[in-house]
Amino acid sequence: MIRKLQNQNSHNGEKTKTYRNNIDKVKQKIYHDDVVTFNEKRNLFSLEERREIIAEGQRGEITLRKICAREGITPVIFRQWTQDFLRFNESDEKLSGVKKISEDEKFKIVIEGKTGATSIAQICRRENISQDVFLEWSQEFSNATKNKLQKFKLSSSSIYLKNKQLISITSDVDVFNYFENYVDLSLEKTLVVLKSNSLRLDKIKNIENIVSLQKINDIRYINKYFEKVNSKLQNGAIFIGCLETFSSRRKRMKISKTPVINNLYFGIEFLFKRVFSKVSFTKKHYFNITKGQDRLLSKAEALGRLVSCGFSIMDYKSIDGLLYFVVKKVKEPAFDLNPSYGLLYKMPRLGKDGKTIGVYKFRTMHPYSEYLQDYIVNANGYANTGKPADDFRIPAWGKFMRKFWLDELPQLLNVLKGELKLVGIRPVSKRYFQDIPKEMQKLRLTQKPGCVPPYVALNRAGNVMSVLQSEKDYLEEKIKNPYTTDTKYFINAVFNIVVKHKRSA
Which 3-state string (H, E, C) describes 288-312? HHHCCCCCCECHHHHHHHHHHCCEE
Which CATH fold topology does 120-259+294-329 show?
Answer: Rossmann fold (3.40.50)
pLDDT for 308 equals: 94
User: Which residue type is seen at 53?
Assistant: I
> Which pLDDT score is estimated for 218?
93
Strand ranges for 367-454 from DSSP E: 421-423, 450-452
pLDDT at position 27: 46
- Whether the CB-CB separation of 319 and 167 falls below 8 Å is answered with no
> How confident is the prediction along the chain (505 residues), in pLDDT tens digits per residue?
434 434 443 444 444 444 445 444 444 444 444 434 455 555 567 777 777 787 777 666 677 788 888 887 888 787 777 777 665 544 444 444 444 577 777 877 888 887 776 788 888 888 877 777 888 888 887 777 665 555 455 545 678 888 888 999 989 899 999 999 999 888 888 999 999 888 778 887 778 899 999 999 999 899 999 999 999 999 999 999 999 998 899 888 888 888 889 889 988 888 888 888 877 788 888 888 888 889 899 999 999 999 999 999 999 999 999 999 999 999 999 887 666 677 888 888 999 999 999 999 988 888 888 899 889 888 888 777 667 888 889 888 888 888 888 888 999 999 999 999 999 999 998 888 888 888 899 989 999 999 999 999 999 987 878 888 999 999 999 999 999 999 999 999 999 888 887 877 6
Residue 376: other Cβ atoms inside 10 A: 22
pLDDT of residue 243: 96
pLDDT of residue 58: 64
Alpha-carbon 177 to chain mean position: 20
pLDDT value at position 7?
44
The 10 Å Cβ neighbour count of residue 193 is: 19
| C-alpha to C-alpha distance for 70 and 23, rounded to whole angstroms | 10
Q: How far is CA 486 from the centre of its chain?
A: 41
Which residues lie below 8 Å from residue 61, measured CB to CB, with a gap of 6+? none
Q: Which residues contact 316 (CB under 8 A, 6 or more apart)?
A: 299, 303, 323, 324, 325, 326
Residue 141's φ and ψ, nearest 5 degrees, are -65, -45
Query: DSSP secondary-structure letter at 337?
Result: S
Give me the residue spans of the domains in the chain.
2-96, 120-259+294-329, 351-498
Helix, strand, coil share of the chain (percent; to 5) = 55, 10, 30
How many whole angstroms separate alpha carbon 298 and alpha carbon 396? 13
